[in-house]
Amino acid sequence: MTAVLLATMCAAIYGTADFFGGLATRRSRVLAVVVLTQAIGLLLVLPLLPLLPGAPSAGALGWGVAAGLCGGLGVALFYRALASGVMSVVAPTTATTSAALPVLAGLALGERPQALALCGVVVALAAVVLVSREPGAARAGKAALGPIAAALASGLGFGAFFILLKQVPDDAGLWPLAGARLASTVAAGALALATGRGLRPGKGSLPVILAAGVLDMIANVLYLFAAQRGLLVVVAVLASLYPASTLLLARYVLGERLSALQTAGVGLALGAVALIASG
């Protein structure tokens, strides 16, 4: 039950962080947003390392660095897709991929959730698929192939991030996240330098970038704790329900319309959480 609660909270905060990240990329270069959000997350987690139990080890840092590289690539592709596509299409498309990959990995590794929880996982996957559909946007030509391809690739990166963080030792504390953020910050910064992209944020975008970075790290902490207490099949699919909060913010802040299928998907997401919690 604790893992379910942590993963559900993680999803809500991930979705809010992605909303702010998407807004930031409309005012600043994508790589600038990625580097700054990753650096903000690193600065947030470093003071917490001595406050929580856990010790650094080669395994903890190694899995964290690998997760950070995958997650950093996923963030860069995701923000790029958000900047050029429709938020209510891109975010759920990414989530569909990022949810399916850990579920397949968990089952392949021998995880077997209880029947009711497994039903909840299936419902959750269906929910993510439903909220990813935006027929109106597709007919209007807004759901271009480029942003959709970037969204799918980012989903693979996020899915790998979920899988790799599940592998860290239970006594590692927050050290894997420190390694992950250090790796993603350095990689994104090196890419920005190699391509000659400036890292200066656009006018008025720094508070939005700060919010995205802080919220993303908080969500990562919640996911790590959830993964240490629950099955990958369960916690990863719950964390991947984050488009629900992204969609609701896009609806009420940006005025993007939700289709009937998306609304049904949000309802299914709530039902999935209830089923998994009951299982």
Q: What was the pLDDT predicted at 132?
A: 64
Q: What are 217's two structure tokens?
A: 């790290």
Whether 140 has a pLDDT exceeding 60, the answer reads no
* Nearest alpha carbon to residue 64 among 160, 164, 133, 156: 164
Print the domain residue range for 14.
2-278
Give this prediction's pTM: 0.85
Check pLDDT > 50 for residue 175.
Answer: yes
* H-only helix segments in 46-144: 58-84, 87-108, 115-131, 135-139
- The whole-angstrom separation of Cα 27 and Cα 246 is 18
The residue ranking higher by pLDDT, 247 or 154, is 154
> Which residues are CB-contacts of 192 (< 8 A; sequence separation ≥ 6)?
31, 32, 35, 198, 199
Whose tokens are 């139990």? That residue is 53
The pLDDT assigned to 91 comes to: 67
Task: Work out how many domains the chain is built from and give that number.
Answer: 1
Query: Region 145-160: what's the mean pLDDT?
Result: 85
Kindly report the average pLDDT of the chain as a whole number: 85
Higher pLDDT, 195 or 63: 63
Confidence (pLDDT) at 144: 63
Model confidence at 138: pLDDT above 50: no
